[in-house]
Structure formats: structure tokens, C-alpha cells
Amino acid sequence: MVASVIDGVRIAGLVSCLPGRRETLDHLSARFGEEAAKRIGKATGIHARHLAGPGECTSDLAEHAARTLLDRLGWEPGGVDLLILVTQTPDHPLPASGLLLHRRLGLAKSAAVFDMGLGCSGYVYGLWTAAALLKAAGGRRALLLAGDTTSRVLDPGDRAVAPLFGDAASATALEVDTDAPPMAFTLGSDGAGAPYLIVPGGGMRAPDEPKHLFMDGTQVFAFTLREVPGSLKAVLDLAGWSMAEVGRVVLHQANAQMIRHLGQKIGARPDQTVVALDGHGNTSSASIPLAITDTLGSALAAGPMRLLLSGFGVGWSWGSAAVTAGPLEVCATMTLDSISVSAETAG
């Protein structure tokens, strides 16, 4: 397990962006039957999800989140030194979607830009990477964009996955600040989990197979209970925090029962543990920042709060972070009624 402490970098703001199209349990009732839809909602805590419409891509959601964040912070795009896009649903196999966003946002040619192909652990990995590179490379400001349009790789008739995943993207602004409290990270990987959460078709290995997500829920649950509590306890020790000193525990929002169970295993009180997937579902790499912008905007605007974060899933891959955030200049969720995408904008 990688253990890392990074000081002198602060989170300046967060914005999450949801597509306007929405699917509820009523829609699932029409597809799977009313009783099945009710069971899905009760078992997962998910009652609605936002889904990308025709022509809407991850980069479009990320662009609107980033533009809103830059505008509200008063940051000039040319002053951003680093842009990282975390996604498993890029616009194209190449070029990297981060480069499309570089042009659309108007960043300087001196900015470093790249994509990270991670899913549910991706926000924590991206936060670690962005903070570390800012310090190591002598930059000043970074944009961490994280999001997925997982609905693009779902079989709508597969009740094991179709009712669970929603689409979203987020933008996080990071800035070098010598007075910022340290961030602590623990990160781990186990590639043996690859077959249990996978889109096997559509890539170079099997280009002609269906591009549909497969998930073995039993294996996912077992992996989560096996690895995540230890990662969370390790990052608390690394930060020198007790659970009583944590303001909120924000875990990857995959399943409400799983979130509550993990919270209990690490000794978190119910009021410390954020459960915010009822109207969004599992939004993959965007789920942690979306949970923060949905539930903690007022609290983080008012002053600093200690946050215990953990993302875990596809790979297997997991990462936990102990971060003090706030006061934030912006922490908001936006919903787009529609996104107009032209050939010029798209690439």
C-alpha cells in the first residue's frame, strides 16, 4: 500500500455537473415490473439517476463544471498549470479527452494535461496525483476533472447494473498554499479483480464484442469489505486523526447499505457518514465530489472541515484520503437541461 502525505496544497472549490435527463423507479417499473423496481430501490438506496442524452459525453459535463468553477473562483484559464481528467468513458480512443478540454477551456500551452483511466477509486487517485505534481513541478493551480457517462456501456435490460449507474462529472480546483493543512493518502491495487467488473468488448482485445458492463456484485462486496476498512484506518493513522475528529466520511456512493456498513466497521457515527446516492446512483469517479457538493456546500463555505474520503472498485483499485477542506469559495451541484454539442466543440 502506498502511504503519502502532501502539505501546502488546498482545495479551493468544487462543482459537480449532472445531465438533465432523469430516470426514476417508475421508468424501471415499466421495464422490469413494479415489484422488481421496488426491491432494487430498497436494496440499493437508489431511486433515480441522471443519464446523458444523445450526443452528451463526459467531456461536456466536465467542461461545464470546470467553466462554472473557474468563473466563480475568478481564475483565468491561462493560469491553470495542470489539468487531469479521470474517466473510463472518454470521447474517443484517442486523443485524450483532457486535451479536448484544454482547448475548449482556453488553457495555456504551458499547461500539463493528461487523462487517468480509473473508475470508482479515481477521484482519490486524481487528488493525490494533482496535489503531488503541483508540489513537485512548482506549479500554482490545477484542475482535477472526474466523471463518467457509464450509461453508454450499460445493457438497459440488465437489471444487475442498469438501475445502479448514473452519469455525472466534477471539477475540483487545487492551489498551492503554504498554510494549507497536509493531505494524507493510502492507495492500493489488486489486478486479480479485473474480471469481476469489466466492459470486455469495444477495446483492442475484443473490438467486436458488445460494449456492455458486467459486474459480479458478490465479488465487489467481498472485495470492499476485505480492503476498504483497512485503508481507511491506515489513512487515519497516517493523518494522526481519531474518528471522533472527522467531520464527515464520504465514501464512494455505490450502495447505501454498503456505505452504512463500512461506516460502522470503522467506528463512524451515522451522522458522520454521508449517504447521497438516492437521486444519482453510482456515478463512478464523480461520486465522492458529487456527494460533497450535494450535502456539504453550506458547511464547507462556513469553515474548515476534516473529511475522510475513500474510493474503491473496478480493478480492483482503492484509495483513501484524510483532507481538511474549507472555507470553500464555491461548492455546488449544477444540472444541465441540455448540452449542445457541435463538431467544432467536440473535437
- What's residue 338's pLDDT? 52
129 and 231 belong to one structural domain: no
What are the cell numbers at 258?
A: 454498503
What are the cell numbers at 330?
A: 464555491
166 and 234 belong to one structural domain: no
Q: Find the domain containing 145 and state its range.
A: 2-179+331-346
Q: Write out the E strands in the chain.
A: 2-6, 9-19, 22-24, 48-50, 82-86, 112-116, 141-148, 168-176, 183-189, 197-198, 214-215, 248-251, 305-313, 317-325, 330-336
Q: pLDDT truncated to tens, each residue of the chain (347 aa)? A: 799 999 999 999 999 999 999 999 999 999 999 999 999 999 999 999 999 999 999 999 999 999 999 999 999 999 999 999 999 999 999 999 999 999 999 999 999 999 999 999 999 999 999 999 999 988 999 999 999 999 999 999 998 899 999 999 999 999 999 999 999 999 999 999 999 999 999 999 999 888 999 999 999 999 999 999 999 999 999 999 999 999 999 999 999 999 999 999 999 999 999 999 999 999 999 999 999 999 999 999 999 999 999 999 999 999 999 999 999 999 999 998 754 443 333 33
135 and 219 belong to one structural domain: no
Percent of the chain with pLDDT over 90: 93
The DSSP symbol for 182 reads P
85 and 110 belong to one structural domain: yes
- What's residue 341's pLDDT? 40
199 and 292 belong to one structural domain: yes
Return d(Cα 83, Cα 90) in angstroms, integer: 15
- What's residue 210's pLDDT? 85
DSSP string, 210-279: ----EE-HHHHHHHHHHHHHHHHHHHHHHHT--GGG-SEEEE--S-HHHHHHHHHHTT--TTTB----TT
- What's residue 1's pLDDT? 78
324 and 303 in contact (C-beta within 8 Å)?
A: no
Nearest to 62 by CA among 87, 82, 37: 87
Could you give the residue numbers annotated as active site? 120, 252, 282
Return d(Cα 303, Cα 327) in angstroms, integer: 4
What are the cell numbers at 125?
A: 487517485
Furthest CA-CA distance within the chain: 57
147 and 231 belong to one structural domain: no
The pTM of the full predicted model, rounded to 2 decimals, is 0.95
Return the CATH number at 233. Answer: 3.40.47.10
- Domains of the chain: total: 2
210 and 322 belong to one structural domain: yes
- What's residue 344's pLDDT? 35
12 and 140 belong to one structural domain: yes
171 and 30 belong to one structural domain: yes
170 and 291 belong to one structural domain: no
167 and 187 belong to one structural domain: no
237 and 159 belong to one structural domain: no
61 and 336 in contact (C-beta within 8 Å)?
A: yes
Question: What pLDDT digit, counting tens, does each position of 155-189 carry?
Answer: 999 988 999 999 999 999 999 999 999 999 999 99
